[in-house]
A and B are shown apart, each in its own frame.
Chain A
């Protein structure tokens, strides 16, 4: 019952926040509307990665590739073909999920660290294609001025589009996490050997997780194209993947909403500190060190420990997440 109450309270809060975010463009200058949209799509990207990292303990080190594949697919279709916009938008996540399947099939055979290493190498191959194939992708210049459909071409309308799509995706991710699939995934995270012994096909379950996560990663990539109107190889570069990874750790990788917070912090740093110095990654490094020493479960994880000292309450909280 206690859990049920919190659930309703949480639901109410989410609705209130959503309505507030809908009203925000009425007050804010254009730059901040754009800035918020970038935070939203990055938050979705981090959330999709966290399905692997936080809830599945799959060290998806090169998640940026799938973000990039989603962005490139939608961007190229919009810029170079005359397919309707909605087909281009749908193709992004699907292509990303397909790339996730291809890379996942190989990686899934390996454990933890080796999984991550192989993923970095295979992902870098895709980056190299985007970087080198001038005829198709524009190479290291990328493609700019991608035609975006009129109804989401302005900053404000694209803000609303990103917000709504992100909202829908977050609800879907939440449902997935609460489903038998999600709860089995968390059991695999805790103890894969035991899961195999209760009749779960661990590898297939992990592969499904990667496909789902890369689908949402690709969706975030499409949102990027809508907001920026351009694509470039940095989207698939491993540095970006590392950033997303840190967002998950920073926000709280065992919590549902932690990565949103992590994304907000990192994007803000990148935007405001990055404007003063190109060494802003130095600050990122310091944050990471502090994080490992003082908050190994991230900000949200730390919060829950503080708020729910007693075991029982913490348990119901974990169930909620």
Chain B
């Protein structure tokens, strides 16, 4: 479904992504791991169009999307969450999700209809499925960090994505919150047949959930394989797992 081939991106002299390769099959749960500064977030920003690559290809269903702006890529079925909680702080939780549902239904430009009657069912369904329904009238800025991260996933779900990209979905969460969030992600993948690409620091989390793991170091892909194979790969052990 998604294939990244020999992707490069530099900021001035710093090569943030320097030969990344990745392949995501439909229905798969794929993790990207690597030490801090390995280029995981940059890779995600390149895929979703926040950044433009210097060279290399990003193929979504065999179409090159590497030069497209973020909103077009989103309309092609790729939704994402961000590493820093990235919600609409002044709007209510309900409005936060409704914005993306409206966008998905191509209603964002409607001028003289009342927004409070549109896309209500879909929005409520998403809020229910992630467990934020009872907080839907709260201002998003007042949520706890963990809830904001969940809300972010809910916003991304509003786009009914084929491919959901999560940038460190459990960063800064307590162990309990991490467990709930990962359970939620696995449930979404199973129930809705979502394809999910995520990056994560917590090795337990990654090896417990992912079906395929891509390892990055200094912007480069070392290997992509099944969890057991990655665990046994000597290069990976040296570069990353060795220290733990």
Q: Name A residues whose Cβ lies closer than 8 Å to a Cβ of B.
A: 175-176, 178-184, 186-187, 189-191, 193-202, 205, 208, 254, 311-312, 314-316, 318-319
Contact = CB atoms under 8 A, between A and B. Distances in A.
A318 B103 contact: no
Interface stretch (B2-10, B11-19, B135-143, B185-193): B135-143
A197 B90 contact: no
Contacts of B114: 175, 178-179
A205 B111 CA distance: 12
Contacts of A180: 102, 107-110, 113, 115, 118
B90 A254 contact: yes
A187 B111 contact: no
B48 interface: yes
Contacts of B159: 198-199
Q: Report which residue of B49, B118, B137 has the largest number of chain A beta carbons within 10 angstroms of its beta carbon.
A: B137
A183 B99 CA distance: 7
Interface stretch (B27-35, B72-80, B201-209, B230-238): B72-80
Contact of A315 (B70, B112, B113, B137): B137
Given A190-B90, A199-B103, 11 more contacts: A179-B115, A184-B102, A187-B91, A194-B82, A197-B48, A198-B104, A199-B100, A254-B90, A315-B138, A316-B92, A316-B137
A311 B139 contact: yes
A205 B82 contact: no
B71 A178 contact: no
B142 A311 contact: yes
B108 A200 contact: yes
Given A197-B48, A311-B139, A319 B92 contact: yes
B127 interface: no
Contacts of A182: 115
Contact of A318 (B70, B91, B104, B116): B91
B115 A191 contact: no
Given A190-B88, A315-B138, A183 B95 contact: yes
A315 B139 contact: yes
Interface size range of chain B in the complex: 35 or more
Pick the most buried of B69, B99, B104, B111: most chain A CB atoms within 10 A of its CB. B99
Interface string B144-159: 0000000000011011
B70 A196 contact: yes
A311 B239 CA distance: 48
Contacts of B139: 311, 314-315, 318
A182 B48 CA distance: 25
A186 B137 contact: no
Interface string B100-132: 101110011111111110100000000000000
A175 B70 contact: no
A319 B70 contact: no
A191 B49 CA distance: 16
A187 B88 contact: yes
Given A199-B75, A318-B90, A176 B111 contact: yes
Contacts of B50: 193, 196-197
Contacts of B79: 197-198
